[in-house]
Structure 1
Amino acid sequence: MVAQQFEQAADYTDRPVDEERAESRRNAVIKFQDRIFVPLTVVPTLLASLLVFGIPLVFSFMLSFQGWSIDSALFSGRFVGFANYQDLFTDPLFRSSLMLTIGYTAVTVTAELLLGLAVALLLNCRVPFIRFFRTALIIPMMITPIVAALTWKLLLDPNYGLINVILGTKTVWLGDPGLALIAVAMVNIWQNAPFVAILLLAGLQSLPHEPVEAAAVDGANPWQTFRHVTLPLLAPYIVVAVLLRTIFEFRSFENIWVMTGGGPANATKLLSVYTFEASFLSFDLTLASAASWVMLFIVLIFCVLFIMATKRKEIA
């Protein structure tokens, strides 16, 4: 045995130097590939994003501080400072659209969160045909918004719509200023609440079982367990759902434009519709750029405040 070990040691020491050098070169090549893998994959994506999103953003930011018309040269606008923003905030239609957008976003996000949470809790239980319901849940969110809006526009038709046939009325859902925004909001909630439900369902299924079992041992009822155990553990998923839905609802456009076009009597003219009309109907791109940046700034403020409030709550 001892002689065999000496022979193995001798073979190891007598290994050719070229083989050691080749192995060290292979290791160096592998390390070099690992170092350049991330730049090679990230840099092209970053450059493409800058070209697709960065240049239009910079150009729109410049336009928001310029006096420029559609028949002028591309960079011939003159600097006018905050005149475009002043025109925005002195426009009664913009102010009403801003308040309408804030209220619409608050109501739809709250409804989507509550409905999505209820559906997620239901689908997290062991009920018959649970796989069928989970599959059917994603159907509304998989439909193209324009197709969904056109379908609901037909369903809400005052003369031949299925909704009025079921209710036995001839309500003009999309022609009444008091009902149009409610109808549009209901369609939006119907299509986007499943996204919240799927996100929260994934969170519920990833939560640890030990805290719930400990609460049951301590004698907590289902409501107390949900309020003091499940809901705090689910808070990170709720934050993500609220942030995402707030961003998308604040710039909601497709279903509103298809179903009502911002009417009747500007009852559904949100900021996105106002910006679209200023851009592509009035061709006032400077005013539309200012409105777009106001929308972006408001969403950023909300996101930052919401994240800060959530972190303070976690620290407390």
Structure 2
Amino acid sequence: MKIAIMGSGGDAPGMNPAIKRFVEVAYEMGHEPYFIFDGLEGLIDGKIAKAIYKDVAGIIHRGGAIIGSSRSKRWYENEYRKKAFENLKEHNIDAIVVMGGDGSFRALDLFNKEFSINFVGIPTTIDNDIYGTDLCLGVDTALNVIRDAVDKIRDTASTFARAFVIETMGRECGYLAAVSAITSGAEVCVIPEVDFNKPLATKILQKEIKEGRRYILAIVAEGTKRTAEIAKWLEDDIGMETRVTVLGHIQRGGNPTVKDRMLGFGFALKALEALNAKEEGKIVVYKNGEFGVESLKDALKPYTIDPQILSMLHFLD
């Protein structure tokens, strides 16, 4: 088979290890690997090329994706999907491995239904909001980036006796914020999934300050849109000088951790195995320490954070 790999949507650390493994294993299996550059936009524009070993030499440690990625409004117009299909047929490509999130998987599912181009998805999003997989590619690195930033902010917070509000990414999912709050010992965590008990938090923090607490760390998920509100509350109600740090896109960059390198390898191998087995429209998952495949229908179910994680957080009802 001729099989192409592409990125779609936001980038995540671990994409390059997955790309490297895809090329190597494809050749081992007797397939011809191809790159689709710049995601769906590149597919529409015909940015397709055969991949060779040299292309993936020395990329395992690099963040981002050497093949690029994109989001595409044009994709949702039939004329551009038809153009994308014609580009694939020009290279006789039989299937696609797509690294992305639920939006990317839906886009490829529509494509497959129209033109019978099979695909397998690799869950690639630091948001970790794909149902059926314990981890998505890039999550572990993002958590370590946040951990490093919070540890450094704590140094300043404790020195100046201040409160710091740290906003994490994650769209509508609070996974990054929740796990980061737990593992950094943050006093406050605000996520979309659970109501933040402000009266209880106020009572506890005021008591702790009277007993000698010098600083407060508050981690807020971007999806709550409450970063400014929490900062004002800490300043006005808790009575502590407050600063805000929005971590932003540093969470999507950097050298992938060992965990994300291993996940990239495993996801790529399982994706090719699924295509070898003629499985249609599957998503690779990592569950209970093992790689498997799920149907697209199951992978697109609403994601919920593990209740055990939520039970470890402070000030949540």
The alignment's TM-score, normalised by the length of structure 2, stands at: 0.21
User: Which has the larger helix fraction?
Assistant: 1
The alignment's TM-score, normalised by the length of structure 1, stands at: 0.21
The structure whose Rg is larger is: 1
